[in-house]
Amino acid sequence: MNQDLSIVAGAVCFALLLLQVPATFILLSRLFKGPFRQPPLSPLSPTPDQVGAVSVVVPTLNEAKRISPCLAGLSRQSYEVREIIVVDSYSQDATPDLVKEIQKKDPRFRLINDDPLPEDWVGRPWALHNGFLYSSEQSDWILGIDADTQPQPGLVASLVKTAEAQGYDLVSLSPQFILQYPGEWWLQPALLMTLLYRFDPAGTNNQSPERVMANGQCFLCKRSVLAALGGYTSARSSFCDDVTLARYAAVQGYKVGFLDGAKVIKVRMYEGMAQTWTEWGRSLDLKDAASFTQILGDLWLLLSVQALPLLIVFTYLLISPFFSFSAFPLVLLLRLNLFLLAIRFALLFAIAPSYDRTNSKSNWTFWLSPLADPLAFLRILLSSLYTPTQWRGRSYAKMQKA
């Protein structure tokens, strides 16, 4: 029986090695680019040639509880911002009142309502599209900003200067995250790691169009380019419209960048672990911007290098007191997964600057987030299997049936 057990164990180990070894090399090829990436953007002051260069568009729907820091942060931007267009989708809370109040102090703010949502559009790209159509043609750049962000002084000037200096037609930023509760400090970094494992770090050279990454929370595009792309129409039915539009632009030959913006923009996306799991988790698969083959490849990678290492090491520790395993495949498998776990814990130090720790006493669970990696993979897997029917208070059941 021991011999039969050894044969089975050896076969399982060999199969896992075939699954994990190629994925490990892919992961390492991406992580090795990290030390050579561009440094995070720093706040800058505008130059005279940037006067009125940017129209900011903020899509809103019942954002009264979290939009105030965004409005205040945008108001602190300098003369490079020509106008700040808040496109409200008929909020039922005090969102319009907050915009009207700051409008009294800063005439650059404009409040409009988008047209009724067409059946083949998702709410966010539709609001951004309406804001683009309403914006001044004298602006050279269109900047989409989410209501849950907290723009820091010097954000827009720094973003425009970087885009112009490096020749980007479209560029977006990864933010610094604001977390509060132990559960989200534990889960959110594991979900973020699913992006880091699948794509190059922010600030590295763009990959092929199908691997381009973007973040709609802070999304700058040349007005002429956005017009040539038809506004947001290419991403109208996408629940990850930022990535969909960025990849479409890359296919058309435009230069797309994704940079580290931790020093110039912060974001408080969700309240607690449950909301993080439900809301953010269901868009992280990026299936609306990827082919079926790419989705399968990403799931294989995440299973191999993020979900399995903890499970394999834990299983070995659980059964090793009862069985004697010394076969070469098992030893190699164990060492490989210990190596992957070591990488995962080391990456905590790499992503630590992407989190604001100033106002949270529960951030110690951040260092335990690798224990949530199997859950993070499960969330991506579940999200990849279905299209949302509810999003930000809207129903998309008809779109799913279509």
pLDDT bracket for residue 401 (50, 70, 90)? very low
Q: How far from 32 is each of 28, 60, 264, CA to CA, in Å?
A: 6, 39, 25
Averaged pLDDT of the chain = 92
The per-residue pLDDT for 2 is: 57
The per-residue pLDDT for 402 is: 42
| Mean pLDDT value of segment 86-91 | 96
Tokens of 51: 């006067």
Looking at CATH, the fold of the domain delimited by 48-180+203-279 is given as Spore Coat Polysaccharide Biosynthesis Protein SpsA; Chain A (3.90.550)
pLDDT bracket for residue 301 (50, 70, 90)? very high
What amino acid occupies position 133? L
Pairwise CA distance, residues 86 & 163, whole Å: 24
The per-residue pLDDT for 12 is: 86
The residue with tokens 């970094």 is: 189
pLDDT bracket for residue 324 (50, 70, 90)? low
pLDDT over 80 (residue 240): yes
Count of C-beta atoms within a 10 Å radius of residue 107: 9
pLDDT bracket for residue 323 (50, 70, 90)? low
Q: What is the pLDDT of residues 37-59, one digit of tens each?
A: 899 999 999 999 999 999 999 99
| Mean pLDDT value of segment 80-92 | 96
pLDDT over 90 (residue 19): yes
| 179 and 185 Cβ atoms separated by less than 8 Å | yes
Break the chain into its structural domains and give their ranges.
Answer: 2-34+291-395, 48-180+203-279
The per-residue pLDDT for 9 is: 74
The per-residue pLDDT for 187 is: 97
Q: Model's pTM, two decimal places?
A: 0.93
